[in-house]
Amino acid sequence: MRDTVRRDHCMEHAVLGADSTHRDLYEAIEAGDAAGAVTSALAILNEQERDL
């Protein structure tokens, strides 16, 4: 997983807005929306799993 994150530059994409999933996760956490945060986190993990 670590290698995939590094290879795909996930953090750069998240910071630069290349994908909305990290922004959605942040916004759900900020809003105190636990269900929304779980949904967003699972979407991120599913995407990572597909890339492996």
Q: Does the pLDDT of residue 15 top 70, yes or no?
A: no
Q: Does the pLDDT of residue 11 top 80, yes or no?
A: no
Euclidean distance between CA atoms 48 and 40, whole angstroms: 13
Would the pTM of this model clear 0.85, i.e. be above it? no
